[in-house]
C-alpha cells in the first residue's frame, strides 16, 4: 500500500489537506494510506510527499529547519530518489532559489526562480490575489490530464501576495491572470507546485489531487 | 481573472445556527455543518461563520463545528465573533478556519491586527468593520465605525481606519452597513464603493441584501470583490446557483463550476 505523507511543520491548518487527500484516496482503486508526517524518520517510507504551507516564506522555511534533518531527507527522497512531490501555496514557493518576503530567504532551489511581491499597475485590482481564478495551460502535463481548464474551465482558490517568477519557461504548467500572468502551477521531473489551494478548490481541487496520487513521473 | 464571490454567512450560538435557517429536506436545520454542506453543493465561493456565543464557557463549541465543516467542505471558511487574542486566532486556524475575522479587538487595539498579520500572514486576517452614515457632522466622519451591534459609537471614520488596517497587514475588509443590516433594502453601495476604491485589499460588502438585484449592485455599483448575505439564502428564497446565474446574466464574472 502506497503511503502519502503530508508534512506538518507547524504552519497552520493541515486538517483540510489531510481530509481532501483521504477522500480522494478512498475513491481510488489503488490502496493508499494518508498520514501526517512530523519528523524525518516518518518521511522515509512515504511514497508521495505533500508540503502544504501558509504564512510567510521565511516563517515556513524556519519551521522546516526546526525539524531535525527534514530538509536533508526531503532533498534525498525527492531530488535523488525521485518520489512524487507536491508543494502547495508557500509549499510551492519554497521550491524557488529564494523568497523576498520580509527579507531574503533561501529556498530549496529545486525549481529555478524567485518569489517576489506582486506589483500591479491597476488601481482596481487588489492584492492579495484572493478568490477564484481560472488556470491557463502553458505547458501540458499529466497533472492536468482530463481536467477542463482555460477561460471557461474550472476554478481554483487562491490567496497570496507573492508570485513565483520562474527562470525557465519549461517549468511553467499554468498561469492565472490578475493583470499579469501569475504562476499558478509549476513542475520539474517528479516535482509539482500549486500556488492555489487544491484542498479548498472544490471540484478542481479534488481532480488535481486525484491526478497527483495516480501520477507516475 | 478573479471572479466575484458570493459568501453565505451563518450566525452560530453555542454550536447552533440562529436566525432560523429554513431549508427543506434537512434533518437538522440547526446544525451549521449540515447547512455548510448544502452551500458547498450549491457552489458557494466561501462560507462565513459568525460565532455569537456570549458565555465564555460555551465558546469552545465552535472549534468542533469548524473542524467538522472543514472535513466535509473543501472551500474556504472564515470565522469571526469574539476574536480577541493571538491564541483565539491560533485555535480557530488549527480547527480548520482559513481566515479569521477581527472586529472589536481591532478597534480597541489596532496593533493587534498587525501582530496577528505578522504571526499568521495577511491572507488569513479579515478586519470586520460596522459603519453608520453620519447625518450630522461628527468630526470629519462620513461613515463612523460602531461596535456592539451598532450600539457603541467610536468616533472613527471607517475609510481612514480601514486604510490603517491595510497598513497593519489586514488581508481583507468585511464591511457591514449598520443602517442597512436587517432591512433587506440593499447594500449601502456608496459606502461600499468608497471603501473599495480607497483600499488596496479585497472588500466584502455586507448588510441589507433582500434580493438578487441587491447582490449584483454590491459588485457593479459598490465595486466590492465579494458579497455576503444571510437570510436570502437561509430561507431558501434563492439558491447560491440562482444568485450566481442572475449575476452572470448581469455581466458579472462569476464562477459556476
Beta bridge partners of B172: B126
Is there a catalytic annotation at residue A89? yes
Nearest CA-CA partner of B206 in B198, B197, B195: B195
Interface of B with A in 91-120 (CB under 8 A): 93-98, 120
For residue A204, the SS3 value is helix
Which candidate in B13, B45, B88, B130 is catalytic?
B130
For residue A165, the tally of other CB atoms under 10 A from its CB is 15
Torsion B218-B65-A154-A142 (CA) sign: positive
Rounded distance, CA B175 to CA B104, Å? 13
**B140/A151: higher pLDDT:** A151
| B100 within a domain of the structure (yes/no) | yes
Nearest by CB to residue B121, choosing from A55, A129, A134, is A55
Q: Which residue has the cell 468608497?
A: B194
Nearest by CB to residue A15, choosing from B70, B120, B202, is B70
**A97/B54: higher pLDDT:** A97
Interchain proximity B123–A128, CB inside 8 Å: yes
Q: What is the pLDDT of residue B28?
A: 64
Q: What is the CATH number of the domain that holds B207?
A: 3.20.20.70
Rounded distance, CA B224 to CA A169, Å? 35
In the predicted model, what is the mean pLDDT of residues A183-200?
Answer: 97
Chain B residues inside the 8 Å CB shell of A126: 200-203, 225
Rounded distance, CA A51 to CA A66, Å? 15
Nearest CA-CA partner of B257 in A16, A198, A116, A149: A149
C-alpha cell at A83: 518520489
For residue A40, the SS3 value is helix
Q: Is A202 on the interface with B (CB under 8 A)?
A: yes
C-alpha cell at A175: 498561469
Nearest by CB to residue A130, choosing from B72, B202, B255, is B202
Q: Which of A81-85, A204-208, B58-62, B204-208 has the least mean pLDDT? A: B58-62
Rounded distance, CA A198 to CA B74, Å? 8
Confidence label for A198 from pLDDT (cuts 50, 70 and 90): very high
Q: What is the pLDDT of residue B121?
A: 87
Q: Which residue has the cell 447560491?
A: B240
Interchain proximity A127–B43, CB inside 8 Å: no
**A8/B27: higher pLDDT:** A8
Residue A69 DSSP class? T
Chain A residues inside the 8 Å CB shell of B5: 131-132
Using the predicted structure, report yes or no on whether residue A163 has a pLDDT greater than 90. yes
Interchain proximity A133–B223, CB inside 8 Å: no
Domain range for B87 is 5-249
Is there a catalytic annotation at residue B130? yes
Chain A residues inside the 8 Å CB shell of B120: 12, 54-55
Rounded distance, CA B87 to CA A151, Å? 41
Strand B152-157, strand A98-99: pairing: unpaired
Instruction: Count how many Cα atoms sit within 13 Å of the Cα of residue B35 in the half-sphere of its side chain.
Output: 29
Q: What is the pLDDT of residue B138?
A: 56
Using the predicted structure, report yes or no on whether residue A206 has a pLDDT greater than 90. yes
C-alpha cell at B31: 446544525
Domain A2-214: state its class. Answer: alpha beta
> What chain B residue is nearest to A158 in terms of C-alpha separation?
B2
Number of A–B residue contacts, CB under 8 Å: 107
Cβ-based burial of B128 (10 A; exposed 0-12, middle 13-18, buried ≥19):
buried
For residue B88, the tally of other CB atoms under 10 A from its CB is 18
Q: What is the pLDDT of residue A14?
A: 85
Q: Is A101 on the interface with B (CB under 8 A)?
A: no
Interchain proximity A157–B76, CB inside 8 Å: yes
Interchain proximity B225–A126, CB inside 8 Å: yes
For residue A82, the SS3 value is coil
Chain B residues inside the 8 Å CB shell of A177: 1
- What pLDDT, in 10s, does the model give residues B187-216? 999 999 999 999 999 999 999 999 999 999
Interchain proximity A16–B74, CB inside 8 Å: yes
Burial A60-96 (b: 16+ CB within 10 A, else e): bbebbeebeebeebbeebbbeeebbbbbbbbbbbbbb
Interchain proximity B95–A15, CB inside 8 Å: yes
The DSSP secondary structure of A151-172, one letter per residue, reads TTS-EEEEEESEEEEES-GGGE
In the predicted model, what is the mean pLDDT of residues A60-88?
Answer: 96
Q: What is the pLDDT of residue B22?
A: 53
Which candidate in A46, A60, A89, A101 is catalytic?
A89
Q: Which residue has the cell 501540458?
A: A140
Q: What is the pLDDT of residue A102?
A: 80
- Assign 3-class secondary structure to chain B: CCCEEEEEEEEEECCEECCCCCCCCCCCCCCHHHHHHHHHHHCCCCEEEEECCCCHHHCCHHHHHHHHHHHHCCCCEEEECCCCCHHHHHHHHHHCCCEEEECHHHHHCCHHHHHHHHHHCHHHEEEEEEEEECCCCCCCCCEEEEECCCCEEEEEEHHHHHHHHHHCCCCEEEEEECCCCCCCCCCCHHHHHHHHCCCCCCEEEECCCCCHHHHHHHHHCCCCCEEEECHHHHCCCCCHHHHHHHHHHCCCCECCC
Interface of A with B in 121-160 (CB under 8 A): 123-134, 154-155, 157-160
Q: Is B200 on the interface with A (CB under 8 A)?
A: yes
Q: Is A178 on the interface with B (CB under 8 A)?
A: yes
Domain residue ranges in chain A: 2-214
Average pLDDT, chain A: 95
Q: How many structural domains compose chain B?
A: 1
Interchain proximity A130–B97, CB inside 8 Å: no
In the predicted model, what is the mean pLDDT of residues A36-50?
Answer: 96
Q: Is B149 on the interface with A (CB under 8 A)?
A: no
The answer for residues whose C-beta is within 8 angstroms of residue B168's C-beta and 6 or more apart is B110, B111, B113, B114, B117
Provide the edge-to-edge strand list for the sheet that holds A98-99: A105-106, A98-99, A113-117, A162-166
Interchain proximity A157–B75, CB inside 8 Å: yes
Q: What is the pLDDT of residue A52?
A: 93
Contact by Cβ (8 Å): B42, B240: yes
What ipTM did this prediction achieve?
0.92
Largest CA distance in chain B: 52
In chain B, which stretches have pLDDT less than 70? 19-29, 136-141
Interchain proximity A199–B74, CB inside 8 Å: yes
Amino acid at each position: 500500500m502506497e503511503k502519502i505523507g503530508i508534512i506538518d511543520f507547524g504552519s497552520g491548518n493541515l486538517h483540510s489537506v489531510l481530509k481532501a487527500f483521504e477522500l480522494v484516496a478512498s475513491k481510488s482503486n489503488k490502496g493508499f494510506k494518508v498520514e501526517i508526517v512530523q519528523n524525518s524518520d516518518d518521511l522515509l517510507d512515504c511514497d508521495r510527499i505533500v508540503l502544504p504551507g501558509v504564512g510567510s516564506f521565511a516563517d515556513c522555511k524556519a519551521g522546516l529547519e526546526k525539524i531535525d534533518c527534514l530538509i536533508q531527507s526531503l532533498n534525498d527522497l525527492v531530488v535523488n530518489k525521485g518520489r512524487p512531490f507536491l508543494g502547495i501555496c508557500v509549499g510551492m514557493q519554497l521550491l524557488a532559489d529564494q523568497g523576498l518576503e520580509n527579507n531574503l530567504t533561501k529556498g530549496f532551489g529545486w525549481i529555478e526562480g524567485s518569489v517576489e511581491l506582486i506589483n500591479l499597475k491597476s488601481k482596481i485590482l487588489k492584492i492579495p490575489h484572493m478568490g477564484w481564478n481560472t488556470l491557463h495551460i502553458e505547458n501540458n502535463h499529466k497533472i492536468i490530464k482530463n481536467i477542463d481548464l482555460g477561460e471557461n474551465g474550472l476554478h481554483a482558490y487562491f490567496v497570496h501576495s507573492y508570485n513565483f517568477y520562474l527562470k525557465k519557461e519549461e517549468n511553467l504548467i499554468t498561469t492565472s491572470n490578475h493583470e499579469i500572468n501569475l504562476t499558478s502551477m509549476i513542475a520539474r521531473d517528479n516535482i509539482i507546485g500549486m500556488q492555489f489551494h487544491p484542498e479548498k478548490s472544490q471540484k478542481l481541487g479534488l481532480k488535481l489531487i486525484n491526478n497527483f496520487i495516480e501520477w507516475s513521473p | 481573472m478573479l471572479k466575484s464571490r458570493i459568501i453565505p454567512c451563518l450566525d452560530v450560538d453555542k454550536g447552533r445556527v440562529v436566525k432560523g435557517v429554513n431549508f427543506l429536506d434537512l434533518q437538522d436545520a440547526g446544525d451549521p455543518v449540515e447547512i455548510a454542506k448544502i452551500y458547498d453543493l450549491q457552489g458557494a465561493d466561501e462560507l462565513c461563520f459568525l460565532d455569537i456565543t456570549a458565555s465564555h464557557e460555551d465558546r469552545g463549541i465552535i472549534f468542533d463545528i469548524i473542524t467538522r465543516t472543514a472535513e466535509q467542505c473543501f472551500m474556504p471558511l472564515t470565522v469571526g465573533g469574539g476574536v480577541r487574542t493571538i491564541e483565539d486566532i491560533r485555535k480557530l486556524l488549527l480547527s480548520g478556519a482559513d481566515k479569521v475575522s477581527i472586529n472589536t479587538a481591532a478597534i480597541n487595539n489596532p496593533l493587534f491586527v498587525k501582530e496577528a498579520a505578522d504571526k499568521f500572514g495577511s491572507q488569513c486576517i479579515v478586519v470586520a468593520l460596522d459603519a453608520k452614515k453620519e447625518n450630522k457632522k461628527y468630526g470629519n466622519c462620513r461613515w463612523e465605525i460602531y461596535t456592539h451591534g451598532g450600539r457603541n459609537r467610536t468616533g472613527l471614520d471607517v475609510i481612514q481606519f480601514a486604510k490603517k488596517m491595510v497598513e497593519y497587514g489586514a488581508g481583507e475588509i468585511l464591511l457591514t452597513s449598520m443602517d442597512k443590516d436587517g432591512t433587506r433594502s440593499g447594500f449601502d453601495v456608496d459606502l461600499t464603493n468608497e471603501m473599495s476604491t480607497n483600499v488596496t485589499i479585497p472588500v466584502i460588502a455586507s448588510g441589507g441584501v433582500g434580493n438578487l438585484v441587491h447582490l449584483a449592485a454590491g459588485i457593479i455599483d459598490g465595486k466590492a470583490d465579494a458579497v455576503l448575505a444571510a437570510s436570502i439564502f437561509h430561507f431558501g428564497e434563492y439558491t447560491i446557483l440562482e444568485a450566481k446565474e442572475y449575476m452572470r446574466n448581469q455581466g458579472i464574472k462569476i464562477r459556476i463550476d
